[in-house]
Amino acid sequence: MPPKRSPLKIPALQALLVQAGALLPCAALAVAADALGAGLTLLQAALLQGVLAAAASAKLGLARWWLPIQLLFPLALLAALALRLPPWLAAAAFFILLGWYWSTYRTQVPYYPSNRAVWRAVLAELPQGRALRVIDIGSGLGGFTLHLAAARPESEVTGIELAPLPWLVSRLRAVLSGSRARFVRGDYEQLDFAGYDLVFAYLSPAAMPALWRKAQREMRPGTMLASYEFQIPAADGVKTILTTEGGAPLYIRAF
């Protein structure tokens, strides 16, 4: 189990603190502009707040996808107040986003869907003539898991997903299509990779070092770790496959 880290290291909390911290210089600039006879409108103040928060987030080293969130958050808040949206709508949006992203604030793994070209490339690398056990960690809506289960019906293909809403959608897709694919809700860090012939991941750069350490500890000789787009931090032995022209690579490390 990975060591616990300080709450101040959680990116979502850092982003919140940055937004709060940007209020003071934003207010100071607004007061200074007003003293000079060039007062800021609410829209200008919200934009200034967003720019300061995004700049501070970049300086702090938050992931790039936090920057537009930080930039647009004050503007979105201002728009919601201007439109006088009912409180239940904000609550509904919150719970939908919570169900979709769940612990992204901790794992730093947002929803990334892969594509059929990647699925076919992984399928081509699998050994033939025997049943395999495959796990898709962070399986999202289940596209890769469902595809592989249909292509290799003799094999046991499982997707594991922490966020409740994508997991539920993938379960429904499997039931409605009659697929043999299994979907479980949970944290892949609690799995033992020794039980699988292939571990497929499409996570984020932040998750790759810990994933590689886990794979080194647990994966058996003759098995494979595959990662789409995000490089496996191994010193050697990583095969790189370009699944589409100009697209992200697929990395495969055999053990």
Co-location of 120 and 28 in the same domain:
no
Domain assignment present for residue 121? The answer is yes
Domain extent for 144: 116-254
145 shares its domain with 77: no
pLDDT at 184 over 90: yes
Q: Tell me: pLDDT of 243 over 80.
A: yes
CA atoms of 215 and 193, how far apart (whole Å)? 7
**Total structural domains within the chain:** 2
pLDDT of residue 29: 80
Residue 227 has pLDDT above 50, yes or no: yes
Task: For 100-131, write each residue's pLDDT tens digit.
Answer: 555 554 545 555 667 899 999 999 999 998 99
239 lies in the same domain as 162: yes
Distances in Å between the Cα of 212 and the Cα atoms of 82, 126, 198, 220, 235 are: 48, 20, 14, 13, 11
Q: What is the pLDDT, as a whole number, of residue 90?
A: 61
Which CATH number characterizes residue 228's domain? Answer: 3.40.50.150
Predicted pLDDT of residue 114: 78
pLDDT score, position 2: 44
Are 64 and 125 in the same domain?
A: no
What is the average pLDDT score of the chain? Answer: 83
- Using one digit for the tens of pLDDT, what is the confidence trace for 39-62? 778 888 888 888 988 888 888 887
User: What CA dihedral angle connects 144, 148, 149 and 152, to 10 degrees?
Assistant: 180
